[in-house]
Structure 1
Amino acid sequence: MSYDEQYRAKVDALGQVKVPKDVYWGAQAQRTLNNFNIAQKDLIFPQNFIRCLAIIKLSAVRANLKLNLIEPSVAHPIIQASQEIIDGKMDDQFPVPVFQTGSGTQLNMNINEVIANRANQLLGASLGSKHPVHPNDHVNKGQSSNDVIPAAMHMALYLEIHNQLEPALNFILETLTLLQERFSGLFKCGRTHLQDAAPISYAQEIEGWKGQLQLCFQAVKYSKTSLQSLALGGTAVGTGLNTHCSFAQLSCENISEVTKLKFYPSDNNFFSLSSHEPILQQSSNFKLIATSLHKIANDIRYLSSGPNAGIGELLLPVNEPGSSAIPGKVNPTQIEALTMIVSQVFGNDHCISFACSQGQLQLNAYKPVIIYNALQSCKLLAEGINSFTRHCLSGLQVNLDRSQSHLEQNLMLVTALVPAIGYDAAVKIAQYAHQHKLTIKQAAKALNIIQIDQFDSLLNLSKMINPCDK
């Protein structure tokens, strides 16, 4: 096949451009590929975002059909083509990169062209004919890239949170509760400043982790509602020029029907086009989750260090060999993967924060990089939580011998004696025990500061970790 036989010549407002013969995109998407050769193989929009755009196109044409603004003979093939994209049948037709125009116009035109070409093909016309279905006049009717892209941004992130992140948070919280039950009645040495402190139960330590993640979950559930507001109907600058006054409401009703989730028109399109605080808010929540996960993962990293020369109070599941050079080594691989995800989420949040601060007059022109990073953070957190929970957290075991040994050697048990003998006398016992490598009980007996039966009563671990329980 000759070079010319591999391409079809397409004409747009700027003139002629050659498009591969067997693809569904058109001149504008091809110009994007020609002009933005920037990580085209590595940084393209995720399929869940493309599907949200297709849901918008399907919902929009149904709205226009109901408003008698488009002929049924044109609307129905657009609906079918949009549905094929939603079903994942045309995933390879959206190659435009993230780094393009800041409004996402090239991506909007990519999907307009694909739907129009597929619709025309269904009607028996050739690819690229723009007749009877036109990408702008019909597929994009009543819309602008400036309202379609932010609407898809909200939809995609809401769906990712609802379908992926929230179930992952539920999973880890349920697993932590199961661990509390498994470790019930087991005590350990508490630590502050990475130094020995008063005793604590394993269940109480896990309760602290749960509190962190419960706060994160509440923040996500509360703030995600702002993503249900869609910018449709704002068109180019928020005024709604060239769209029917009922278009936004009908489109959102159609979107809600398709997704089985509630979406509604924004009550302030000037805000929705020019600013992206709702997505920034979600990114802040992702950073909050990442911060909590890092603390939890690091706690387990420290407590499982060893097996013989570290703390070694927790035993990690043995998932794979840890070293190519040291035989028998087991490394905290799930912890390391999760904490690397944390660093990526922190970086994404920094990018999103800067990009969201750069709205200019009636438009924020950083939309593609904002949504790409937000969706990546959400996906990484959801999948990272699931992997960490399934392959690390759920398989944790307590090293009972090591925990008991550390408790017996813990000089800070002396804290329980302070109400009975005073702070200074307790210091003497702790210092004597440390100098002579004794337990607190052995030191107290040697110094004869307190009767042993009173000592035993005060150093009751169950009472020490729950002093208010009767």
Structure 2
Amino acid sequence: MENFRNESDLLGTLPVPVNAYYGVQTQRAIDNFKISGQKLSSYPHLIRALAIVKKAAAKTNYELGLLEEPLYQKIAEVCDEIQFHEEFPIDMIQGGAGTSVNMNANEVIANRVLEKLGKEKGDYQYCSPNDHVNLSQSTNDAYPTSLKMALLSMNEELVEKLKKIVEAFRDKGKEFSSVIKMGRTQLQDAVPMSLGQEFEAFAATLEEDISKLNANANLFVEINMGATAIGTGLNAPVGYANLCAKNLAQLTGFSILSSPNLVEATPDTGSYVIYSSALKRLAVKLSKICNDLRLLSSGPRAGFFEINLPPMQPGSSIMPGKVNPVIPEVVNQVCYKVFGNDLTVTFAAEAGQLQLNVMEPVLSHAIMENINFLGNALDTLREKCIVGITANKDICLNMVRNSIGIVTALNPYIGYKNSTEIAKEALETGRSVYDLVLERGILSEERLNEILDPENMLKPHQPL
């Protein structure tokens, strides 16, 4: 046991690795929660957010006369430099409403302060995880506040990745602006369009989600610091809530506000639900785009084959020459994971009872996992697929020329009845709409060419 030190808590004494900055309550969480295999150390945004919240709390306690300046300065110094991600080994899914996360942070900060003071780890009379680092706080306000700070930061990074893929789709829209192809509805020929219009539509639909994500993330700026256990503020001094929010705003750069009703804010998880829904909305759109990319690139001989996706790896252990659309496929799977995690958030939010929602650990894990998954998927799709897509221009144009769908463009000139008869005959005989119109003498060749000029079919225009 020479490599361990003994620490005690409510339940008794427990050995802790002698060099560990964490303490007894973290050790209990390590022992109790072997669930997901994903550790707090895997989410550095949350660790950094915990440190910032603890610094804001220490500054507030100092300004209100509850913490002496030398100890405040040491706590603040440690919070600024916290990089001990291996010292946050607890499982992300745990019981206790996040108490293990909060105490993990409290213990690491306290023991690092003790080290700076020249004291032994665990000598908590000089800096206590509970009495000093957690002063005027509870897990029930420090943990959700830290989660919100982490999500605000993670959202900024996700939005930047989203902006990049929007630009990539927009660049392809410009590149393919002259590629004429058939549009489809219900997987049937519809009317002509350009491949550029299709890719610009991908850019436009994803661009909408930038504002949605930011608007929903903005709900995280309202916090419940000072609520302590249930929102009554027991053990927090007068003025603590607003001053702590002000200090946190200065430290983070976000417009942090104290909730006007801390009793309501403490169990409330509405902001997580609506932000998770924005992530799901993005995933729905992203998955639909990947479905389209797989269809458009299907073939090469027996599919649409209108575009080529960059080949990433051999596609079969038995079929030589086969190359699969593996990047859209993996992004599809990420989106399915996001859908499931959003449902987890819904159930966890609904499960809150009375003055606290104890399911916040699984809720926080689901949302942060979704942000990470989506961010990685956006980068992968852009870098390994979108930027390398090429168009099969001749195939696209031949499909337009041979399509029944171009008869729609003739409706205003020859009437619906004539158009229907020609479409029917074209389907039955395999002949082209173009040839049948000329054969029946309905339009002159010059007039027909003018109507079916691709430029006249890709946008609204006055009748010719």
TM over 0.5: yes
Give the one of 97, 103, 117 matched to 1:109.
103
Quick one: which amino acid aligns to residue 20 of structure 2? V
Tell me what 1:206 maps to: 199
Quick one: which amino acid aligns to residue 146 of structure 1? N
CA distance in 1, matches of 2:199, 2:34: 49
CA distance in 2, matches of 1:428, 1:34: 76
Q: Determine if the alignment matches structure 1 residue 77 to structure 2 residue 74.
A: yes
Tell me what 1:95 maps to: 89
User: Structure 1 369/6 Cα, relative in aligned 2: closer, same or farther at 3 Å?
Assistant: same
Quick one: which amino acid aligns to residue 81 of structure 2? E
Structure 1 position 41, deviation (Å): 5.7
CA distance in 2, matches of 1:409, 1:327: 32
Alpha-carbon displacement from aligned partner over 1:31-62 (angstroms, at most 9, x marks no partner): 22222232346676612111101111112111
User: Structure 1 426/41 Cα, relative in aligned 2: closer, same or farther at 3 Å?
Assistant: closer
Tell me what 1:158 maps to: 152
CA distance in 2, matches of 1:43, 1:148: 16
Map 1:138-217 to 2 at 5 A: 138-162=132-156, 164-217=157-210
Tell me what 2:361 maps to: 368
User: Structure 1 122/469 Cα, relative in aligned 2: closer, same or farther at 3 Å?
Assistant: farther
Q: Determine if the alignment matches structure 1 residue 13 to structure 2 residue 7.
A: no
Tell me what 1:228 maps to: 221
Cα pair 1:429 1:447 within 8 Å, conserved: no
Structure 1 position 102, deviation (Å): 4.0
Quick one: which amino acid aligns to residue 433 of structure 1? A
Quick one: which amino acid aligns to residue 171 of structure 1? K
Tell me what 1:130 maps to: 124
Map 1:313-332 to 2 at 5 A: 313-332=306-325
CA distance in 2, matches of 1:102, 1:405: 64
Give the one of 53, 57, 62 matched to 1:60.
57
Sequence identity, in percent?
Answer: 35
Tell me what 1:274 maps to: 267
Tell me what 2:445 maps to: 452
Map 1:298-313 to 2 at 5 A: 298-313=291-306
Query: Which region of structure 1 is more displaced relative to structure 2, 7-16 or 307-316?
Result: 7-16
Aligned length: 463
Alpha-carbon displacement from aligned partner over 1:165-218 (angstroms, at most 9, x marks no partner): 111121122122211211122211010110111111222222332332232222
CA distance in 2, matches of 1:166, 1:262: 18
Query: Which region of structure 1 is more displaced relative to structure 2, 309-318 or 70-79?
Result: 70-79
CA distance in 1, matches of 2:155, 2:374: 10
Tell me what 1:430 maps to: 423
Quick one: which amino acid aligns to residue 351 of structure 2? Q
Cα pair 1:125 1:131 within 8 Å, conserved: no
Query: Which region of structure 1 is more displaced relative to structure 2, 130-139 or 320-329?
Result: 320-329
Gaps of 5+ in 1: none
Cα pair 1:45 1:97 within 8 Å, conserved: no
CA distance in 2, matches of 1:246, 1:347: 41
CA distance in 2, matches of 1:200, 1:185: 10
User: Structure 1 303/41 Cα, relative in aligned 2: closer, same or farther at 3 Å?
Assistant: closer
Q: Secondary structure of the residue that 2:210 maps to in structure 1?
A: helix
Q: TM-score, normalised by structure 2?
A: 0.95
Cα pair 1:117 1:128 within 8 Å, conserved: yes
Q: CA RMSD in A?
A: 1.8
